[in-house]
Amino acid sequence: MEHVTAVPSWAMLAYLVSGVLFILALRGLSSPATSRAGNRYGMIGMTIAMVTTLVTHGIASLPEIAGAIAIGGGVGFVTARKIKMTDMPQLVAAFHSLVGLAAVLVGLAAYLNPQAFGIAGADGIIEPQSRIEMGLGIAIGAITFSGSIIAFLKLAGKMSGSPILLPGRHVLNLGTLIAILGLVAYFTQDQSQWVIATITVLSFIIGFLLIIPIGGADMPVVVSMLNSYSGWAAAAMGFTLHNTAMIITGALVGSSGAILSYIMCKAMNRGFLSVIAGGFGAEAAAGGGAAKEQRPWKRGSAEDAAYMMKEAENVIIIPGYGMAVSQAQHALREMGDVLKKEGVNVKYAIHPVAGRMPGHMNVLLAEANVPYDEVFELEDINSEFAQADVAFIIGANDVVNPAAKTDKSSPIYGMPVFDVDKAKTIFFVKRSMGGVGYAGVDNDVFYMDQTMMLLADAKKMVEDIVKALAH
C-alpha cells in the first residue's frame, strides 16, 4: 500500500515549535495588554508551519504556491484595511465560512485522489480510518460554511436578525444529524460517490437549519461556536493530510472556541447544549417587541450630562452595540479624557456578551486607545455601582436590565447584568424610546427616578457632551 513520504524529524520539530507558538498566541490574546504579542506569536507559528509543509511536501510548484499566497494575502490585506470595526463580527463569520469551505474542498480532493494523500492503495480503496476522518471533516466543514454564511447575513443586516422558526425544527435537526453520522459510518464500508455527496449536501443543510432559528441576542455564542467548528474541521483534515501542525492548530482552535462558547452561554444564562442544538430562547425572543406600556420617563440633555459628570467623583461607562453602530468610541474616549482632567475617576464596564461577538466592546475601546487599566469585566466592577455617582450607558440594553434579576418570566432571567440601578444618577443613551434590546423586553431602568434618557445618535450625543464640558 502506498503512503506519503515520511516527514523528516526536523519537520516534526518545526511543527512542535509552531504548536508552542500557537499556544503562546492564545495566551497572549487573553489580555488586551499582550494581544499584539499574541498575534505576532501566531503569525510566526503559522509561517513556520507553512514553510515546513511546502518544503517537505511536493504539493505544487513554487509559482503556483506564490500566486495563491499573493491572491489570498492580497484579498485579506485589502479587506482588513477597509473593514469598519462595526463590521468586524460579520468579517469573523465570513472567515469562519472560508475555513469550513476549505475543509470541504480538501476532503473532496482527498476522496477524488486518495493516492496523492497516501490514504489508499493502488486499487484506490481508501483506508477505513481515513474515511472516518474524511467524512467527519467534510461534515463539520460544511456545517461551518453554511452556518457561517447565515450568521454573516444576519450580522450584516442582509437577513432578519430575528429567529426564523421552522415547524418541527428540533426533530428535523436531530434526524438530519443522525442521518449524517449514519452515512459517515456507512462510508467506512462503501466509498461510493453518492455517500460522500449525500454527507456533504446534508451537512450544508444542517448548518443552515441550526443557525436560522438563533436570534441576535445569541450571536456572540454563535460566533464563538462557529469558531470552534472551524477548528475541529481543520483538525479532522489534518489527520487526512497527515499534517501534525493542522491537527494541533485545529484542536487548539476547536477547544478554545468550545470553552469560549461555554463562557458566553454562562454569561447569558443559556444552556450550551441548547444553543448548539439551535434556537434556544427563540420562542421568547420572537414574542418581543416595543415597550409593553407607556410609563413616565425623564429626558435629559448633553448639558445635563456634562454638568452632572463634571461634578461627579466616580463615573462608570457601559458601552453596547449601539456605540459600535454609531462609531462613538473615539468621542467616548475623548469624553473620558476630559472628565479625567477634571479629576473624575472614570471606568469602563464591559459585559462578556456586549456587542455581536466575544470581546467586541474591548476591540472598539482598544481601537480608540482607551487605557486597558480603565476597562473592567462585569464581575470585577459590579460591586462599584453602589458608589458610582453616574452610570453612563451608551447603546447597551439587555446587559443593564434588572428584569434579569427580578422577573422570572423574562427571557433574560438569570443572566448576570450590571447593577446600574444602584448608581446615584443614570444617563441612558439610545436613539428612541420605541426600541428594545435583542431580547425584546422593556427595561425598567428607563423609568427610574435617577435616570435621564439621552435620545439621539450615540456619537452625536457624546460629541455634544464633550462640547458642553469644554464650556
Q: Provide the 10 A C-beta neighbour count for residue 107.
A: 28
Residue 447 gets the label, from left (phi > 0), alpha (psi -120 to 50) or beta, of alpha
C-alpha cell of residue 394:
451608551
Residue type, 376: F
Q: State whether residue 392 is helix, strand or coil.
A: strand
CA–CA separation, 178 vs 159, rounded Å? 29
CA–CA separation, 72 vs 399, rounded Å? 39
DSSP-derived secondary structure letter, 281: T
Question: Is-catalytic flag, 398?
Answer: yes
Marked catalytic residue, from 398, 421, 442, 464: 398
CA–CA separation, 14 vs 425, rounded Å? 58
Written as one string, the DSSP assignment of 54-70 is HHHS--S-HHHHHHHHH
C-alpha cell of residue 387:
458608589
Bridge partners of residue 315, in order along the sequence:
346, 390
Q: State whether residue 297 is helix, strand or coil.
A: coil
Tell me the catalytic residues. 398
